[in-house]
Amino acid sequence: MNLSPVTPDSIAITIVYSILILWGAWIGVHQIYQGFCRPQELLNPLFGNRQAIKIFTFHIIVVSLDLFVCGPVSLHYKSRLWYWGGRIALILSSFSLASYFNRNPQSFGHFIGYWVRFRNFFEISLHVLVSALAVNWFYYYGLLYWLVAYRYLDVGPRRAMQKLYNTPEKKAARPWAPILNWVVIFTIYIAAAWAVYHQKIIYAAPPDPAQPVHIASFWEYLLVGGIDVGVALIAWGMIRKYTGPGPAEALIPANAEH
């Protein structure tokens, strides 16, 4: 495993970065627990639906595997196949959340809601741009530990700040709170980009330039392709179950086998 330089500032930044990651991951796990066991406590009421919280759980599993397993391993071995295979799986598992469960404007205010939407378009575009460029493993490292990691990095502070205006009375008394929340999470976004660019997270580092690029075998292409197709089928199947069979169900004979 490659490491970034160990300095007093990198130690401090690594500790803060790790706390934010673990804080965000814990909130995701806790939200899953609330969805299954205490739906009345959910910030996003849509996840009170049993099928919706299953979709969210599947998404969290895919995100975590890409961030903590597939991404770092593919960087270490310089495997473009596994790197992009994990990222494609993440994007496939994200579509349903963006389409059906995005409640950022309702939960955090329109300012943050618009920011999240802009950020999603920006991050997808940046991934497309990097994938189209010649191989530069520093870019791959940056995408993983900045953009993918940010899915956890801002969650804890964003939820904590939201408590300043989580009722109509609090929001009326503190109309500035949503803007302050956005300033905090935007600062984290920029600070994380700076820390990753300057390699200030000790356990996150670009691969060694001397490390040979991994040449994927045919069975690896089959495996990665099969995993991504499987993720897509599971995600689409969950969405179909959540949204219902649709109007075409009326065209299916009642005695037809399913």
For residue 189, give the H/E element and its range: helix 177-197
The token pair that represents 256 in the structure block? 């037809």
Low-confidence residues in the chain, pLDDT < 50: 258
Residues 6+ apart with CB under 8 A from 173: none
For residue 229, give the H/E element and its range: helix 218-243
Burial of 237 (0-12, 13-18, 19+ CB in 10 A): exposed
The token pair that represents 158 in the structure block? 């964003």
- 139-164 pLDDT, tens digit per residue, is 999 999 999 999 999 999 999 998 89
Task: Give residue 95's pLDDT.
Answer: 81
Residue corresponding to tokens 């950022």: 104
243: helix, coil or strand? helix
Going by C-alpha positions, the residue among 77, 35, 94, 81 that lies closest to residue 239 is: 94
Task: Give residue 245's pLDDT.
Answer: 72
**One-character DSSP codes across 22-90:** HHHHHHHHHHHHHHHH-GGG-SSGGGGSHHHHHHHHHHHHHHHHIIIIIHHHHHHHT-HHHHHHHHHHH
Task: Give residue 157's pLDDT.
Answer: 94
Task: Give residue 167's pLDDT.
Answer: 82
- Entry pTM: 0.87
* N-to-C CA span, the chain: 49
Distance set, CA 171 to CA 107, 175, 243 (Å): 12, 5, 33
Task: Give residue 76's pLDDT.
Answer: 92
Task: Give residue 101's pLDDT.
Answer: 75
Task: Give residue 65's pLDDT.
Answer: 96
The token pair that represents 222 in the structure block? 């089959």
